[in-house]
Structure 1
Amino acid sequence: MFIDFEGIDGSGKTTLSNLLAARLKRLGYRVAHAREGGELQAPAARRVRELTRDSRLLEMSPRTEFFLNLARDAQQLEEVVAPALRRGEVCITDRYLYSQLALSGGGRGLPMAELQPACELASQGLWPDLVVLVDVDPDLARWRKRLGKLQSARVSDGDSRKGLAGAGLAVRVRESFLEMARKDPQRWLILENNDVPLRVLEQRLVDAVVARLEGREIPVQRIVPAPAALPSEPVTAENVEEHFFRALDAVEVREPALAAWMVGGLPGLPAHQRRLGYAERFPALTARGLNGLDDEPAWTLREVLASTAPAEVASSLSGLTSPRAMMLRERLYAQAPSEVLNGLKRDGSPQAWALRERGIKDGRLADVLCGLEGVDGDESWVVREAGMQRKLYAEVARSLGGLTTARADALREVLLPHDRLAVLRGTTGLDTPLARGLREALADKALKLVLRSLTGLTTAESWALREKGAPLTKEALDSVDGLDDPSAWQLRVTHVSRWPSTAVSSLRGLPLGPYARALIDRALEANPGRLSVLRNAYAAVATARSLATAPARAARSEVDVTARVEVRG
C-alpha cells in the first residue's frame, strides 16, 4: 500500500507520518518511510531539495522550480518508493507529486492543465492508494513553525524560496490541496490538526489507515474533532479578553509551549499572570515573550529569568535604551554576547559603544554589525569598513538599516552583487531612489521582504505596491502597523475578510477609536473561534488600553515625586 501525506509547511504531516510508520511497525506491518525522520532517503533528492530552497537563487522561475521538484519526487519514486512496493511493504511518503501541483499551480499560479501531464510522466502511473491531507489553519501552522525554530535554536534561519513569497502562498497551497481532495474523495483523507491533542490525532489516523489495510472502508473523508461550542454571545472588542483567555486555556491543555509563546508581547496584568505561570516550565519562551514590554512586571520577570535564560532576556531588550536596559545588558554580556550586541540597534550612546568595542575585541564583529542598524558617525563607518574587509556583506547591509545618507546608499550599491536580500532588508522605511528601484526589481521574487520594507512609508509608490500585493499575501497589511492614515484604513477594510488576523494586528499601537473597534468587531464576527484572530484582536485592545493609561500613570508618578520633594523640603 502506498500512503502519501500532504499539507502546508507546519501542518504536522512529517510528525504524523513518522508516528504512523512507527505504529504500523509495532502492529507487525513491514513499512518503508521515504522521508524517515524528516530526511529524504534518496541522496540525489536531498541535493535537489537544497536547490529549490535556496533563497539566493532569486532568478529561478516557477517553471524551473516545478521541474526540479518533479525531479526530486521522480528520484524518490525510483530509488525508494517503487522498490518498497515491489517488496510488498507499506510505503509512506511525506509529500509527493500532489505537492508540486499545489505549489506550482495553486501557489505560484501556473496552469494546472500544463502541470498535470508532467506529473503523470514523473509518476510512471504510480499514485498513492491513500493521501492523508493534514489540514490546519495557516496562521496556526506559521506559529508552530516559528515556535519549533525557537525551541531548536534556529531563530536566525533565513527565508526559504517559498518564504520569500509571503504567508499568502501557504493559504493558496492549502486551498489547492482541499480542491484536489474534493475531486477525489475516495483517495483523500482529510485530518484536521487545529485543536486536537497529538496522541488523539495519531490514534484516529492509525485507526483509519488500518481500516484501509484490512479492506474496511473509511466512513467519512474528513476526520474532525468534536465541534467547539459557539460563543453564547457575539465576540467583540469589549469582551475579546475573556474569549481569548478561554481559548488559551484549551491550547495550554494540548500544546502548553504554544500557549506560553502566544502571550509573548501582550501588555497588562492578565497576560503577566499567565507568563508567571509559564516561567518555570518554559523560561526561555517566557523571557523572549517580554520583547517590547517596558513595564515594572516585565522588568521584575527579566531579573528572575536572567540566570536561567540569559540569551532570551537579552533579546527581549531590543529597542530599549534606558539606563536600566543598558545595565542589564552589561550583566548579561558574558553569557549572551551575541544577543546583547544584536540588541544595540539605533543606540549611539557611549555605553553602547563600550559594549561594541568589547565585542570587537572578543572577535564578534558580525554581531556588532548586526546591532549597528540606524547608527551613523565616524566610529560606525570604521566598523563597516572592517566588515567589508572580512566579507561580512549581509551583516554590513543590515547595519545600514535606517540610514538615508548618500554614503549609505553608495555602500548599498557596492553590496548589491553580494546579497540583494540583505540590502533590501536594510531599506525598511526608506524612500530613496535605490530603495525604490530595488523594490521594483524584486517585487516578483521576494514579495514578502519588499512589502515589509514599506513599513512606515506613506508615499504613492508604497501604496501602489501594497494594493498590488494585498490580494496575494498578508505582509501588505503588516507594513501598515500602527499607521493612522486614510489609505491604511482603506487597505485594512478592503482585505480584512482575506487576512483578518493581520488586519487587526496592524491596529496595535493605535487608539481604540470607532474605526478600530468596528474593524475588530467585523473580524471577530466572521471568525469568533479562530485563535489567531482572537489573539491579535486582544493584543490590539490591550495595547491601546495600556497606552491610554500610560499618561495617567506618568502624571501620578510626577505628582508623587513632587509631593515627596515638598515633604522633604
Structure 2
Amino acid sequence: MFIDFEGIDGSGKTTLSNLLAGRLKKLGYRVAHAREGGELRSSTARRVRELTRDARLLEMSPRAEFFLNLARDAQQLEEVVAPALSRGEVCITDRYLYSQLALSGGGRGLPMSELRPACELASQGLWPDLVILVDVDPDLARWRKRLGKAQAGRGSDGDSRKGLAGAGLAVRVRESFLALAKEDPRRWLILENNDAPLHVLEQRLVDAVVARLEGRDTPVQRIVPMSTTPVHSGPVDVEDVEPRFFQALDTVELREPSLAVWMLGGLPGLMAHQRRLAFVERFPALTARGLLGLGDEAAWTLREVLAPLAPAQVALGLGGLTGARASMMRERLYAQAPSEVLQGLKGDSSPQAWALRERGMKDGRLTDVLLGLSGVDGEESWLVREAGVQRSLFVETARSLGGLSDARADALREALLPHDRLAVLRGTQGLDTPVARGLREALAGKALKLVLRSLTGLDSQEAWALRERGSSQTKEALDSVDGMNDPRAWKLRVAHAKRWPATVLSSLKGLPLGPEARTLISRVLEARPASLPVLRNAYAVIATASTLDARGTTVRPSRVVADAATQLVEL
C-alpha cells in the first residue's frame, strides 16, 4: 500500500507520518518511509531539493521550479517508493506529486491543465492508494515553524524560495490541497491538526489506516478530533480577550507546552508574566527569548534568574533595549554568549556598546559586530564596514546598513548589490532611498515578502501602491503598517480582516484602543473565535495599549524594536 502525507509547511505531516510508520511496524507491517525523520532517502533527490530551496536563485521561474520538484519526486519514486512497493511493503511518503500541483498551480498560479500531464508522466502511473492531508490553520503553522527554528538554533533570516513569496503562498497552497481532496474523496483523508492532543490524532490516524489496510470501508473523509480550545460565539468586547486567550493557552500547554511558551513571547502584563514563571524550569531558553522587547521590572528580574541558565537566549531577549541596565547585563553575558551580545547592539551608539564592539573585534568577531551595527552611524562604524568589505563579508555588511539613509550608505548598498541583493533589501526597512526604491521595483515579483517588510513605517506614495498591490497576495503588506494610524492603513486592515485576521490585529500594536481598534478587534474575534493566533495578537494589542496608557504615552515601536519583534513572531 502506498500512503502519501500532504499539507503546508508546519502542518505536522512529518511528525504524524513518522508516528504512523512506527505504529504500523509495531503492529507487524513491513514499512518503508521515503522521508524518515524529514530527510529524503535518495541523495540525488536531496541535491535537487537544495536547488529548489536556494533563495539566491531569484531568477528561477515557477515552471523551472515545478520541473525540478518533479525530478525530485521522480527520483524518489525510482529509488525508494517503487522498490518498497515491489517488496510488498507499506510505503509512506512525506509529500508526493500532489505537492507540486498545489504549489505550482494553487500557489504560483500555473494552469493545472498544463501541470497534470507532466505529473502523470513523472508518476509512471503510480499514485498513492491513500493521501492523508494534514490540515491546519496557516497562522498556527507559522508559529510552529518559527518555534522549530528557534529550538534548532536557526535564525529567522534564512528564507527558502517559497518563503520569499510571503505567508500568502501557504494559504493558497492549502486551498489547493483542499480542492484536490474534494475532487477525489475516496483517495483522500483529511486530518485536522489544530489543537487536539497528539495522541488522539495519532490513534485516529492509525485506526483509519489499518481499516484501509484490512480492506474495511472508511467512508469518513475528514477526521476532526474534538477541539480542546474553548469556543465563544457572539460579539466580543476587548475586556473579554485576556481571559479567553489565557484559557486557550492553557489548553495548548497540555498538547504543546513549548508552543505555549513561544506564544508568550513579547507579551506584557501580569498574566503573561505569571505564565512565564511557571515555565522557567522546563523551558528556560524559550522563556528567556520571549522577553524580547520587554523592559518592565518583572522582565528584568526574570532575566537575572535566567542568565545563568540560558545566557545566549537572555542576550537575544535584550534586542532593542538600550540604557545602563541593558549595557551592564550585556557585559556580564559577553563571556558566555558573545555572538548574541554583539548582534543585539543594533541602534546602540553608546560608549558601552562601542566598548563591547571593540572587545568583539579583538576577539575576531567581525561578523557578529557587523550584524549588530544596524542603525549606527559615525566614523567608527564605517571603519568596521570597510573591514567587512575587505574580508568579503558582504551579507553582514549589507545588513549593517539598516536605518541609514544618507548617500554614503546608498553608495555602499550599490556596491554590494552584485554580491547579495536580498541582504541589501533586508537592510532597507523603513528607508526611502534611491537604492531601496530600485530594489523594491526589481524584486517585487521575486521576493514579495521582503519587499513588503521593507516598507514598514513608510508613508510614501510608492509604499502605499506596493501595499495595495501586495495585500491580496500575502499578509506582509499588513505587517508593514504596524502601528500606523493613517486612514490608508485602516482601509487596508478593514479590507483584509477576513483574509489575514491575525496580522490585521498585530498591526494595531502601539495604537490607542480607540473606537476603530475596538470595533476591528471585536469583528475579527467574532469571525475567528477559536483561532489561537488571533486571540494572542488581540491580547498583545490590548495589553500593549494598556501599558502605554499607564505611562501616559502612545507611541509606535522603534524601528529596532519592531525589527527584533519581527524576528520572534513573524506573524
Show the counterpart of 1:474: 475
Q: Is it true that 1:168 corresponds to 2:168 in the alignment?
A: yes
Tell me how far apart the structure 1 counterparts of residues 53 and 231 of structure 2 sit (CA, whole Å).
41
What is the one-letter code of the residue matched to 2:370? L
Show the counterpart of 2:290: 289
What is the one-letter code of the residue matched to 2:477? A
3-state SS, counterpart of residue 239 of structure 2:
coil
Residue 235 of structure 1 contacts residue 243 of structure 1 at CA under 8 Å; is this kept in 2? Answer: no
* Residue 234 (structure 1) shift: 3.3
Show the counterpart of 1:494: 495
Tell me how far apart the structure 1 counterparts of residues 274 and 24 of structure 2 sit (CA, whole Å).
43
Show the counterpart of 2:246: 245
What is the one-letter code of the residue matched to 1:234? P
Residue 235 of structure 2 contacts residue 523 of structure 2 at CA under 8 Å; is this kept in 1? Answer: no
3-state SS, counterpart of residue 542 of structure 2:
helix
Deviations 1:210-238 (A, max 9, x none): 00000001131001112565326633322
Show the counterpart of 1:73: 73
What is the one-letter code of the residue matched to 1:179? A
Deviations 1:386-417 (A, max 9, x none): 11111100000000011111111111011000
Q: Name stretches of at least 5 consecutive residues in structure 2 with no aligned partner.
A: 554-571
Tell me how far apart the structure 2 counterparts of residues 97 and 205 of structure 1 sit (CA, whole Å).
22
Residue 236 of structure 1 contacts residue 524 of structure 1 at CA under 8 Å; is this kept in 2? Answer: no
Tell me how far apart the structure 1 counterparts of residues 514 and 394 of structure 2 sit (CA, whole Å).
44
Tell me how far apart the structure 1 counterparts of residues 156 and 512 of structure 2 sit (CA, whole Å).
33
* Residue 319 (structure 1) shift: 1.1
**Aligned positions, number:** 552
Show the counterpart of 1:452: 453
Show the counterpart of 1:38: 38
What is the one-letter code of the residue matched to 2:58? L
Residue 196 of structure 2 contacts residue 255 of structure 2 at CA under 8 Å; is this kept in 1? Answer: yes
Show the counterpart of 1:323: 324
Residue 236 of structure 1 contacts residue 525 of structure 1 at CA under 8 Å; is this kept in 2? Answer: no
What is the one-letter code of the residue matched to 1:544? A
With normalisation by structure 1, the TM-score equals 0.96
3-state SS, counterpart of residue 239 of structure 1:
helix
Deviations 1:72-93 (A, max 9, x none): 0011111111111111111111
Q: Is it true that 1:129 corresponds to 2:121 in the alignment?
A: no
* Residue 311 (structure 1) shift: 0.7
Show the counterpart of 2:563: none
What is the one-letter code of the residue matched to 1:163? G
1:59-458 residue pairs with structure 2 within 5 A?
59-156=59-156, 158-227=158-227, 230-231=231-232, 234-458=235-459
3-state SS, counterpart of residue 4 of structure 2:
strand
What is the one-letter code of the residue matched to 1:504? L
Residue 230 of structure 2 contacts residue 247 of structure 2 at CA under 8 Å; is this kept in 1? Answer: no
Distance 1:229 1:339, change over 3 A: closer
3-state SS, counterpart of residue 92 of structure 2:
strand
Deviations 1:4-30 (A, max 9, x none): 000000111111111111111111111
Show the counterpart of 1:17: 17
Tell me how far apart the structure 2 counterparts of residues 405 and 189 of structure 1 sit (CA, whole Å).
57
Residue 331 of structure 2 contacts residue 356 of structure 2 at CA under 8 Å; is this kept in 1? Answer: yes
Q: Is it true that 1:57 corresponds to 2:32 in the alignment?
A: no
Show the counterpart of 1:561: none
What is the one-letter code of the residue matched to 1:468? R
3-state SS, counterpart of residue 141 of structure 1:
helix
With normalisation by structure 2, the TM-score equals 0.95
Tell me how far apart the structure 2 counterparts of residues 352 and 543 of structure 1 sit (CA, whole Å).
28
3-state SS, counterpart of residue 147 of structure 2:
helix
Residue 430 of structure 2 contacts residue 457 of structure 2 at CA under 8 Å; is this kept in 1? Answer: yes
Deviations 1:435-493 (A, max 9, x none): 10100000010000000000010100000000000000000000000011111111111
Identity %: 79
What is the one-letter code of the residue matched to 1:57? L
* Residue 157 (structure 1) shift: 5.5
Show the counterpart of 1:567: none
